[in-house]
Amino acid sequence: MLEFPRLKTGVAVQYPVEYAAESPLRAFTFLDGTQQRFVRKRIRRRWIVRLDQLDEGEAARLEEFAKRHFQTLEPFEFVDPRTGVAYGPCLLEGGEQHVQALGPGRSGATLVIVEWSR
């Protein structure tokens, strides 16, 4: 399994990180109009990670990670920065990843990481 790259400070992300937990529901409506709802699948977690203070080495590692992931679609483990809990398998959402130059020696990227539900 791939390993999500760490920044030179040892952390995986910069703050703020957007987080959402989705859980598909199924609802049955009875003749009297009442409903019974239950979760159909396990919770699916999603993180939006914005990195805008990357140096050239960090940007290169991130670009290489994203390139390899999109070529192989190999899942990876991601540690939630809010809780320190590792979730996997995870995938990057979208079809490609671009690291953008923001200034001299400074790059940035936005990643959408999704916990893969089987």
User: What's this model's pTM, rounded to 2 decimal places?
Assistant: 0.69
Residue-wise pLDDT tens digits, 34-86: 998 877 677 788 888 888 878 888 888 888 888 888 888 889 988 888 888 88
pLDDT of residue 34: 92
Name 106's Cβ contacts closer than 8 Å, sequence gap at least 6: 52, 53, 54, 55
pLDDT of residue 97: 65
How many distinct helices (H) and strands (E) make up the chain? 1, 9
